[in-house]
Structure 1
Amino acid sequence: MTGLTESNLLVLRNPNDPSGNGIPAQGIGYDHDSLGIFQQRPGWGTAAQRMDPRSATNLFLDALLAVPGWSSMEPWRAAQTVQRSAFTGNPTAANGQSLVYGGNYLRQGERASRILMAIGGSNAFGELDCGAAAISDSHPGTSDTNQKDISGVTPRAAAAVTFALAQRGKPYQWGGEGPATYDCSGLMQTAWRQAGVSIGRVTGQQLRNGSPVIAAALRPGDLILIPGALGTLAHPGHVGMYVGHGQVLHAPRTGDVVKVVRLTSFIADGVSGYRHIA
């Protein structure tokens, strides 16, 4: 995603940094004295390092790993924190009056996903979405789609569940917060916002929202956070909403839609936390 934004994944030399002359390149860039796929300036390393895709990637990853909390950030925010582009969230002429922190990187998210899919198949495709494991036991029928168990819950929880269930069938989109598309944590945030409750945007924040609850005490509206394909028990990568009847609603991954699945399959690879919101 970052490489697409900075150079269209091309190794670029730059006349403003002649130390890159003579090193194989795929084009010419003119951004200050930046070189390579990630458009790194001299402070990042030598010209040879910055113009070698593998070395340049390692330089980028070293900087990323040094960012506190990077793994719980939206990827475009993490990219912006590393790259320090003009897309700071403050609208200027340099960023086209953008209000989105890292918005230039966000715009390349779907394209990056398609490239990963072409390179590595469906497993790679999940690396830019919520990272849910292959959960595919959605079963239409009375217990799945035509009833909701909201008796005895708070009015706010009932509102959140009702809204979330109404989104079934809408496509997953990384970064989506509705009304037409959602990612996993965006759906949870939007559903609870509709109920008048503010929660965090990403799974790392939602793991700390509300109060912890045990599995036996789950009630409709509670959030269930799991590692997913790329997260861990300590740093979950996926989230769903308990909707009663032993079922969970979630937005799985690119190419899939908001759906209801069995709780047992959703938590098959472990649970990072159950959170009661309101």
Structure 2
Amino acid sequence: MGWKSVTAITVTLGVLFGGAFFMSAAQASTACGNATVDAATAATSQPVAGYSGDQLANAAAIMNAATGLGLDAQAQTIGVMTAMGESGLRILDHGDQAGPDSRGLFQQRNNWGSLADRMDATKSALLFFQALAKVPGWETMTPTAAAHAVQGNADPNYYAKYYAVAAQVIQALSSNGGGDPGCAVSGDQVPLAQELVKAADAGRLVGSVPDHIKEIRWIAQGKSVPDCGIDTRILQVMVLAVRNFQTVGISDINRKCTGQIEGAGTESAHYASGGGHAVDFYMLDGHELTGSDGESIRLLSLLDAVMPAGSGAGQSECRAAAGDPINLVNFTQFDDTCNHQHVDVLAAASGLRGSE
């Protein structure tokens, strides 16, 4: 609850390949939810945000096309978002008045390729992602701007309303309905903290003012600093974040360590019971968080599958105001300021499922 000024935001670029930027294999391995998704399984999955059957199978094909090109979950979400806006995730055999020759998931016109390719979920997605990768700086654009640069829609903001839903679909299909974000994590504080320090040294985990990453560094070094501890489950949450996003920005962890009295004060999960039972995320993949944006929703959907019951997730009113409320099973949602995503485990009685 609460967020200070950002001191650093690092954008991770992929390696140059074929004239466009893609993630390296090492970078791709950090995105645990970025494995191939079985389309047949997706087709029989429970509906997600009103999408089901062939629509989810088509979403899986889009995700796999991105993975095949070495692109990350952000690209997957842009692709699924675009297809939602263009066709409702259906392979359409007709166009509209503006583009009577438009076809397929992405409503690609004749100049995009053969009719057979445009009517094939995988091939049309490959065409989309190959075009996206040629857009300079697409990784740091807003998702709708990146999609617009490829599609040339009359309204550059047209796709924005589909992003949060696309993020939900991506997360649901990535976990294959199994309640596992694809990353078993240690239950030992030292290796958890060491993994986070490695991400911080690589510029993938960044902090704000005051510095809370020092709390992680002390744990990684085996030090026990009074009033500066971190709940093991919060370390696990941060590890899952850095494994599933290319860049992660965190602000408050243990406010008792930094002497911060703000928000809920000494009753806050950041401060109470020794402090360190919460973490605030202010940025994911270069995008500032509001609690209602696609990255926040993807993070909460990812974590909800493994969090102990009674965990806390802030920003519920931010999602409601944006028209993007989400149902969470293990998180209790509450109001908080719309400039970060708060996660806490103060009231949770057990550990994260899927930990080693």
Q: TM-score range by the shorter chain?
A: 0.3 to 0.5
TM value normalised by structure 1: 0.41
